[in-house]
């Protein structure tokens, strides 16, 4: 049985995620003392930002890039966790001890969960 995914299905998925994200963002607000950790994932990459919403600025940011030039070993989930640990160390150097986790409308499992656990392992309170 052949299943075809049309453009309409893909757009609907994106719209549903954006709708979930707007509901989450209505409740979450980052400050300088407790910034918002925004996570976006695509099929290949994960982007993580520490954002101060009062000033509208990114404090610390980083990304996990999958590809042939990537030197780290492991699955995408493992790489996302390691990237989050490194970013947690950078955030601690910037004076951040706590953060609010913004999953970006994605379900809390897989790489999103690995990012949150990596931040906790790096020493941040979420």
Domains in the chain (CATH in brackets) are: 7-121 (3.30.420.100)
Rounded mean pLDDT of the chain? 89
The strand pairing partners of 102, in sequence order, are 38
3 state SS of 61:
strand
Q: What is the pLDDT of residues 89-120, one digit of tens each?
A: 999 999 999 999 999 999 999 999 999 999 99
- Chain-centroid distance, C-alpha 39: 2
Among 66, 32, 45, 47, smallest CA distance to 104 is for 47
What pLDDT does residue 68 have? 67
Burial of 27 (0-12, 13-18, 19+ CB in 10 A): exposed
What pLDDT score does 97 carry?
94
Cβ atoms of 52 and 95 closer than 8 Å: no
Distance CA 104, CA 42 (A): 12
Burial grade of 113 (CB within 10 A; 0-12, 13-18, 19 or more) = middle
pLDDT of residue 7: 67
Report the pLDDT value the prediction gives residue 22, as an integer from 0 to 100: 93
Instruction: State how far the Cα of 59 lies from the Cα of 66, in Å rounded to an integer.
Output: 24
């Amino acid at each position: 049985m052949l299943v075809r995914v049309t453009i309409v299905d893909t757009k609907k998925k994106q719209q549903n995620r954006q709708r979930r994200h707007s509901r989450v963002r209505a409740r979450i607000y980052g400050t300088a003392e407790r910034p918002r950790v925004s996570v976006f994932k695509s099929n290949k990459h994960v982007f993580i930002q520490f954002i101060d919403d009062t000033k509208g600025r990114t404090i610390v940011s980083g990304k996990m890039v999958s590809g042939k030039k990537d030197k780290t070993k492991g699955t995408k989930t493992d790489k996302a966790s390691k990237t989050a640990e490194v970013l947690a160390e950078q955030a601690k150097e910037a004076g951040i001890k706590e953060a609010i986790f913004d999953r970006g409308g994605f379900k809390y499992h897989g790489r999103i969960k690995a990012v949150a656990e990596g931040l906790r392992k790096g020493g941040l309170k979420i």
